[in-house]
Each structure stands twice: as C-alpha cells, then as structure tokens.
C-alpha cells in the first residue's frame, strides 16, 4: 500500500497557535500510511492578483506542495465569526492562477480550535462554502471541533485533551479511507 501525503494548512501566524497545535497532534496521531507536512504561511503577502503569475517564493513553494499532496488538512481558528485573514489569504493564493488551482479535486480534512465555546465551527462552514467553488471534497465526519482550547493544550502547546485527540485520530482514519476511494489509490 502506498503512503498518503497530506498537506496541513494552519489558520494562524501566531507562534503558539492552537490551530498549529492541532496539526502537530495530527502528525503524532496519523495512521502509519499517512505523512503530514505542515505549511509555513507566515511570510505570505496579502494576495494581489497582479502577482498571481509570479507569486513570491514562499507562496510558490506552498502551491507546489499543495498540488503534490494527495489531500489537504485545514486547521482553523476563528476570527469574528469567520475564517481568519491568514487562512483566507492562503486559500486565495492556493487557488490561483485559475485554472491551475492547487485545491481542485482534492479531498480535505477540517479541524478547528478556539478559546470560545463554539470551537471555530463557524469558520468551518465558511471554508465549506468556498470548497464548493474550489471543487474540494471535505469529509463530513467525524468533525474535529475543539472549544475552550486554552484548557486543552499544555504550556508547550501540546494537545492534552484525550477526547479531542481521539476525534483527530478518527478524522485522519476517515480522511485516509476517503482519499484512497476518491483518488483510487490502492
């Protein structure tokens, strides 16, 4: 059985971001046949269509890795009841130039965390709306939503909450199954 290459996209530029913490947990919990690389989106300028044919180097590398991956794992925070600007910016850069979108036809997982009680769920639904246009195929369940994040990570940013870790583990198992079915990977 060939391995699955997953590209993880965080929603935050913050050093100790919970969205990054979820991706690190996913790397720990990934099934044996899955490798997760986490994108570095910190140096991305705000998307400017004048530059889409010659994107800055960090964006070019990001697009290349996203295109090469079998599936994408988005890890969201939530800003003002929607996607953070950082996440939307990464999504926009990845989608261009049309029709060479890095997202087209990709299976996807979605996780989110927030210090609030809704756990970033609203940002998940905003992302799902964009995925219709982007022609992405997110798995529906199990969902990974981590509310009250400040109580679920330790001082080093490690996700310690066992229930959340189990949801991530199950999410990744389903992402692997779904990716193999959708892309016909034995």
Ligand X SMILES: Cc1cc2nc3c(=O)[nH]c(=O)nc-3n(C[C@H](O)[C@H](O)[C@H](O)COP(=O)(O)O)c2cc1C
Which residue ranges make up the site for ligand X (CB under 6 A)?
Answer: 11-12, 14, 17-19, 77-81, 114-116, 118, 120, 149
Nearer to ligand X, 4 or 110 (CB): 110
Q: Which is nearer to ligand X, 6 or 83 (CB)?
A: 83
CB of 157 to ligand X, least distance (A): 9
CB nearer to ligand X: pick between 4 and 111: 111
**Would you tell me how many other CB atoms lie within 10 Å of the CB of residue 147?**
17
* Nearest distance from C-beta of residue 140 to ligand X, angstroms: 21
How would you label 125-134 residue by residue, b for 16+ Cβ within 10 Å and e otherwise? ebbeeebeeb
Cβ distance to ligand X smaller for residue 77 or 179? 77
Nearer to ligand X, 146 or 172 (CB): 146
Q: Minimum distance between the CB of residue 17 and ligand X, rounded to whole angstroms?
A: 3
Q: Give min distance, CB of 92 to ligand X, in A.
A: 19
Strands 34-38, 4-10: pairing kind: parallel
N-term to C-term CA, the chain: 6
Compute the distance between CA of residue 16 and CA of residue 136 in angstroms, rounded to an integer: 28
Measured from the CB of residue 109, what is the shortest distance to ligand X in angstroms?
16
Q: Report the chain's C-alpha Rg in angstroms.
A: 15
Among the listed residues 86, 85, 94, the one whose alpha carbon sits nearest the alpha carbon of residue 65: 94
Tell how far CA 175 is from the center of its chain: 12
């Amino acid at each position: 059985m060939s391995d699955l290459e997953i590209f993880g996209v965080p929603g935050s530029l913050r050093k100790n971001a919970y969205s990054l913490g979820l991706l690190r947990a996913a790397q720990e919990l990934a099934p044996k046949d899955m490798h997760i690389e986490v994108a570095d989106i910190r140096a991305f300028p705000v998307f400017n269509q004048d530059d889409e044919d010659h994107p800055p180097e960090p964006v070019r590398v990001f697009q290349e890795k996203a295109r090469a991956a079998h599936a994408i794992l988005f890890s969201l925070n939530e800003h003002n009841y929607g996607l953070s600007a950082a996440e939307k910016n990464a999504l926009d850069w990845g989608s261009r130039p049309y029709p060479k979108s890095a997202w087209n036809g990709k299976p996807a997982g979605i996780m989110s965390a927030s210090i609030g009680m809704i756990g970033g769920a609203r940002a998940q639904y905003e992302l799902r709306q964009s995925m219709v246009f982007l022609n992405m195929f997110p798995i529906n369940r199990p969902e990974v939503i981590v509310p009250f994040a400040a109580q679920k990570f330790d001082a080093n940013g490690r996700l310690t909450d066992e229930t959340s870790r189990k949801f991530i583990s199950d999410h990744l198992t389903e992402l692997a199954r779904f990716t193999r079915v959708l892309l016909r990977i034995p």
